[in-house]
Structure 1
Amino acid sequence: MTVALMWEARAVPGRGADLLAWAQERARELSGRPLRRETFRAPQDRVLVVTWWDAPYDAELPELPEPDGELVTRAAHRWRFESLGGT
């Protein structure tokens, strides 16, 4: 089974590049190697990191930590999905 973990945070205004660099570094430091990792950015200084793992849905998997409160406007959002396959 493939499980995708999604992590999304919004930087304080003007700190989007800092949050992006922080997230990319933390993603490289994850214990274990995901099948795939991808990082995205969006307007309003949002950063999204998705990692794919070969694991059961309820497996204990490494996740990005919470960023420093001075870097983000709110707590990071996290979601877990089970892949149903691609086209």
Structure 2
Amino acid sequence: MTVALMWEARAAEGRGPELLKWAREQDLVPSPLRRETFAAPGDRVLVITWWDAPYEADLPELPEPGGDLARRPVHRWRFESVDVA
């Protein structure tokens, strides 16, 4: 089964590039099958990781950014693949 973990954070005002750099530097052990990092207006950063694991598996996730880097708590979602086109 493929499980995708989504991690989304909104940077403190004007700190989008710093949050993006921080997210890209975070190591996950073990490593996912695939990892993509996205940036969006409003200083938002999204990281999606794909895992070959059961839905309930204990998988490593990116932590909360330290200090005052984020303007709100991180949003996290977990999905299981049901179709690939």
Which TM-score band (shorter chain)? over 0.9
1:1-87 maps to which residues of 2 (within 5 A)?
Answer: 1-26=1-26, 29-87=27-85
Q: RMSD over aligned Cα, in angstroms?
A: 0.7
Cα drift, residue 85 of structure 1? 2.4
Say how many residue pairs are matched: 85
TM-score (norm. length: structure 2): 0.97
Percent identity reads 69
AA matched with 1:61: L
Deviations 1:17-36 (A, max 9, x none): 0000000001xx11102110
Cα drift, residue 86 of structure 1? 1.4
Gaps of 5+ in 2: none
